């Protein structure tokens, strides 16, 4: 591996647009040569073995496995890696404790330059065994973080069947939920989706995420409420951002007012 300038770089990303952007950014830096591109695990491994780049700019999520698979398959043949990642900040804080650097998408030019500088230092200053040990430690740290991130995404979304395909509905896009016999219906983005669950189970799951019970058969997302309308005999109706109007059950009025920060006299 070359320990002097210029440094050679292999870019691995399954999106051609992303690779082209990285190439443009790297061209603004001195002493950098992009020697190749790859879009999946197999082609990445083959390119590293053929081109022997000094630095691997590696997307985490690529076809054929993931960026971690590339490193494990290369073993001692892996050059220092700068990961390209969409991990959340909690995962990144763990990542920062490791020697291998990262950049987040969309890639910031200054952050990329810093990462490449750190990789250059790794090329010049470390022994191969030390680099590999730190790299494999980083892989395990990132894999744990990825699993945690995926668990969080699962907890904050629903998979529904729509026109023969499964579609993910983010909780933040749901305006309200209504019981429908042995099911519940999610109303999101002007569409509705039937889910096999109970309104009580939905309340237990979604109350910590800002959903309020306003009727024995209805939950509403707090941030979707734009108006509370007073009707005859003290009845209340909520108007939502999507235009829907929902009746508030009498036994839920006081709890709703408290949750919205309204006094009973409001």
Domains and CATH numbers, the chain: 7-154 (3.40.50.2300), 160-260 (2.40.50.1020)
User: What is the mean predicted confidence (pLDDT) over 152-179?
Assistant: 77
Q: Which of residues 129 and 162 earns the better pLDDT score? A: 162
Phi, psi of 58 (to 5 degrees): -125, 120
What is the per-residue pLDDT for 128?
A: 52
pTM of the model: 0.49
User: What is the mean predicted confidence (pLDDT) over 61-81?
Assistant: 84
Residue 215 has pLDDT above 90, yes or no: yes
How far is residue 130's CA from residue 151's CA, in Å, rounded to a whole number?
32
Cβ pair 75, 28 in contact under 8 A: no
User: What is the mean predicted confidence (pLDDT) over 64-69?
Assistant: 83
Q: How confident is the model at residue 1 (pLDDT cuts 50, 70, 90)?
A: very low
pLDDT digits (tens, 9 = 90+) for 143-156: 665 565 555 545 56
pLDDT digits (tens, 9 = 90+) for 3-48: 446 889 999 998 888 899 999 999 888 888 999 999 999 999 999 9
Cβ pair 9, 32 in contact under 8 A: yes
Residue 130 has pLDDT above 90, yes or no: no
The pair of structure tokens assigned to 226 is: 């734009």
- Alpha carbon of residue 143 to chain centroid: 14
Non-local CB neighbours of 155 within 8 Å, separated by 6+ positions = none
Q: Is there a cis peptide before residue 6, judged by omega within 30 degrees of 0?
A: yes
How far is residue 202's CA from residue 217's CA, in Å, rounded to a whole number?
11
Cβ of 149: how many Cβ atoms within 10 Å?
A: 15
């Amino acid at each position: 591996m070359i320990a002097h300038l210029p440094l050679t770089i292999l870019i691995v990303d399954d999106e051609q647009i992303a690779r082209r952007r990285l190439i443009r950014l790297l061209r603004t830096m001195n002493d950098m040569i992009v020697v190749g591109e790859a879009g999946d695990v197999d082609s990445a491994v083959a390119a590293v073995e053929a081109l022997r780049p000094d630095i691997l700019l590696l997307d985490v999520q690529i076809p054929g496995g993931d960026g971690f698979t590339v490193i494990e398959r290369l073993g001692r043949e892996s050059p220092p890696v700068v990961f390209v990642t969409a991990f959340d900040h909690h995962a990144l804080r763990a990542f920062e404790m490791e020697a291998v650097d990262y950049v987040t998408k969309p890639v910031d030019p200054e952050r990329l330059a810093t990462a490449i500088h750190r990789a250059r230092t790794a090329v010049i200053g470390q022994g191969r065994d030390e680099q590999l040990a730190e790299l494999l430690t980083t892989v395990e740290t990132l894999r744990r973080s990825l699993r945690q991130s995926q668990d969080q995404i699962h907890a904050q979304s629903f998979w529904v069947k729509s026109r023969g395909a499964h579609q993910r509905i983010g909780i933040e896009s749901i305006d309200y939920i209504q019981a429908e016999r042995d099911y519940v219906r999610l109303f999101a983005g002007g569409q509705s989706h039937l889910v096999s669950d109970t309104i009580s189970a939905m309340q237990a799951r979604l109350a910590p995420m800002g959903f309020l019970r306003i009727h024995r058969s209805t939950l509403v997302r707090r941030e979707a409420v734009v108006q509370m309308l007073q009707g005859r005999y003290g009845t209340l109706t909520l108007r939502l951002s999507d235009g829907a109007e929902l009746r508030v059950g009498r036994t839920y009025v006081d709890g709703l007012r408290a949750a919205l920060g309204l006094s009973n006299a409001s």
